[in-house]
């Protein structure tokens, strides 16, 4: 099947779902339709990546392909969470990003190593890293919404979008659940890296390793501060964003420099 046709199919439904969620802010009866559209988009996205893996006999971890995989996992986790928590409005921002990452992946294919060429230990390290980043990305978006929600409520004139979200306490609880799960997988990623990668502090990996450790320290400190000192509100939001930026630079900084700027794999 033509990958551009599949990509267009998935991207169309991502955008349609995002637009429907925006309309639901006023209508308040389009949530089900929006989620159905999102699930169709996820299916199309998954089939596109599966066909790519079939053709390459493994999953490659080039810049855009990794971004596409991460965006799929983020959307999937968001949709699963929406069964029990009213977080689907995050899709207004996340669905178009997923469509963009999928489009760039199909438009700019790469020929880097695939998972079949890596050992089981290396695959464990890579996949746990991707899951950690996906969870902590959702947490970062959640923290931005918390900041907006808090500001709107203090102004005593909250907009329709803010009123569409659950109470601050519920949003904050979900934020820390996402961070806890993200730290768990980030810990697996770092531990497997230290055990199985001999040159973890080699020149091309040292900044990635250090930034990942900094992110782990920030997120872990936030969880400890939450439990021991009741950290919440602005402090929790700031630390979440600091940790996410550190992780973003660790995961994509080196890929951006090596693959797209220096043209190295």
**Domain regions of the chain by residue span:** 1-117, 118-265
Q: What is the pLDDT of residue 136?
A: 93
Q: What is the pLDDT of residue 57?
A: 72
DSSP annotation of 86: S
Q: Give residue 128's Cα distance to chain centre.
A: 13
Q: Biggest alpha carbon distance in the chain?
A: 57
**What is the torsion angle, in degrees rounded to the nearest 10, for the CA atoms of residue 223, residue 225, residue 228 and residue 230?**
-100
Looking at per-residue confidence, does 110 or 195 come out higher?
Answer: 195
Of the spans 78-82, 85-89, 104-108, 202-206, which averages the highest pLDDT? 78-82
pTM: 0.80
In the numeric block, which tokens belong to residue 116?
Answer: 């079949």
- pLDDT tens digits, one per residue of 102-135: 998 888 776 555 545 566 677 788 888 889 999 9
Closest Cα to residue 250, out of 196, 198, 193, 195?
193
CA angle 87, 77, 246 (to 5 degrees): 95
Q: Please say if the pLDDT value at position 184 is more than 90.
A: yes
Q: What is the pLDDT of residue 75?
A: 94
> In the chain, pLDDT over 90 holds for what percent of residues?
36
């Amino acid at each position: 099947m033509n990958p551009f046709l599949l990509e267009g199919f998935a991207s169309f439904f991502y955008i349609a779902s995002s637009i429907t969620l925006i309309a639901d802010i006023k209508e308040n009866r389009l949530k089900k339709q929006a989620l159905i559209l999102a699930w169709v988009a996820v299916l199309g996205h998954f089939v596109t990546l599966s066909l790519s893996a079939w053709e390459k006999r493994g999953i490659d971890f080039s810049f855009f392909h990794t971004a596409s995989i991460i965006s799929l996992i983020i959307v999937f986790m968001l949709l699963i969470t929406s069964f029990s928590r009213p977080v689907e409005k995050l899709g207004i921002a996340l669905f178009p990003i997923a469509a963009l990452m999928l489009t760039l992946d199909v438009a700019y294919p790469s020929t880097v190593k695939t998972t079949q060429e890596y050992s089981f230990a290396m695959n464990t390290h890579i996949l746990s890293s991707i899951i950690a980043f996906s969870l902590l990305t959702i947490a970062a978006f959640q923290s931005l919404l918390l900041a907006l929600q808090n500001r709107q409520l203090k102004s005593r004139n909250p907009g329709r979008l803010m009123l569409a979200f659950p109470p601050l306490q519920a949003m904050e609880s979900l934020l820390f659940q996402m961070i806890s799960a993200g730290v768990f997988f980030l810990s697996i990623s770092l531990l497997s890296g230290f055990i199985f990668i001999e040159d973890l502090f080699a020149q091309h990996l040292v900044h990635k390793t250090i930034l990942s450790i900094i992110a782990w320290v920030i997120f872990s400190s936030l969880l400890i501060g939450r439990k021991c000192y009741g950290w919440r509100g602005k402090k929790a939001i700031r630390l979440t964003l600091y940790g996410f930026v550190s992780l973003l630079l660790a995961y994509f900084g080196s890929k951006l420099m090596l693959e797209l700027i220096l043209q190295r794999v």
